[in-house]
C-alpha cells in the first residue's frame, strides 16, 4: 500500500483488519476446509497461522480483532503497542472548539515521522499514523 492509499482509507472493517494484522500482529484468518483424520468430519485450518477450528462458526478475524478505527478504547491498545515498539507519539486537537473537532496524530521513531491526515475521528487518526509505520517509502 502507498501512503496516499492509507491516508484515504475510511474507518471501518478493512482498516481494522490491516491494523490487526500489520500493527497488532493478529491473524485475519483465511480458512480452508479439510477432512479430519480421526473421523469422517471436516475442520477448518487457517492458511496463515495454521489454527484448527472444528465448530460451525469459526472466528473471522482472530481473538485480537477489534474496531480500532472507530473505538477509542481499541485505538488506545494501538498506542500501547506502538509505545512497546519504541515509537513516540504526539497528538493535536487542531480546532479545539469547532464542530466537528479535527484531529492530527503522529508516531515517530529514529528521526522518522508518520503523520495522519487531519481526521474527524481520533481513532481514525491514530490508525492512519500507525499503519503508515508499516510501509517503506
- The 10s digit of each residue's pLDDT in 36-49 is 777 777 888 888 78
CATH homologous superfamily of domain 3-25+66-132? Bacillus phage protein-like (3.30.2120.10)
Domain boundaries, the chain: 3-25+66-132, 27-60
Instruction: Report the C-alpha gap between 126 and 137 in whole angstroms.
Output: 19
Instruction: Report the C-alpha gap between 123 and 112 in whole angstroms.
Output: 21
Which of 15-19, 22-26, 45-49, 67-71 has the weakest average pLDDT?
A: 45-49
Q: Which tops the pLDDT comparison, 75 or 95?
A: 75
Residue 64 has pLDDT above 70, yes or no: no
Residue 81 CB-density burial (10 A; 0-12 exposed, 13-18 middle, 19+ buried)? middle
Residue in 5, 9, 117, 109 with CA at minimum distance from that of residue 68: 9
Which of 52-56, 70-74, 106-110 has the weakest average pLDDT?
A: 52-56
Cell of 75: 485505538
Alpha-helical segments (H) within the chain: 3-7, 13-18, 72-84, 122-132
The structure's pTM equals 0.76
Instruction: Report the C-alpha gap between 128 and 125 in whole angstroms.
Output: 5
Amino acid at each position: 500500500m502507498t501512503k496516499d492509499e492509507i491516508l484515504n482509507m475510511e474507518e471501518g472493517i478493512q482498516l481494522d483488519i490491516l491494523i490487526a494484522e500489520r500493527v497488532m500482529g493478529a491473524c485475519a484468518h483465511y480458512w480452508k476446509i479439510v477432512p479430519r483424520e480421526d473421523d469422517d468430519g471436516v475442520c477448518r485450518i487457517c492458511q496463515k497461522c495454521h489454527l484448527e477450528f472444528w465448530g460451525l462458526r469459526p472466528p473471522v478475524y482472530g481473538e485480537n480483532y477489534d474496531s480500532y478505527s472507530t473505538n477509542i478504547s481499541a485505538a488506545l491498545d494501538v498506542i500501547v503497542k506502538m509505545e512497546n515498539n519504541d515509537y513516540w507519539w504526539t497528538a493535536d486537537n487542531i480546532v479545539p472548539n469547532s464542530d466537528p473537532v479535527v484531529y492530527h496524530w503522529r508516531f515517530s521513531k529514529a528521526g522518522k515521522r508518520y503523520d495522519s491526515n487531519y481526521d474527524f475521528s481520533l481513532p481514525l487518526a491514530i490508525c492512519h499514523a500507525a499503519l503508515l509505520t508499516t510501509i517503506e517509502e
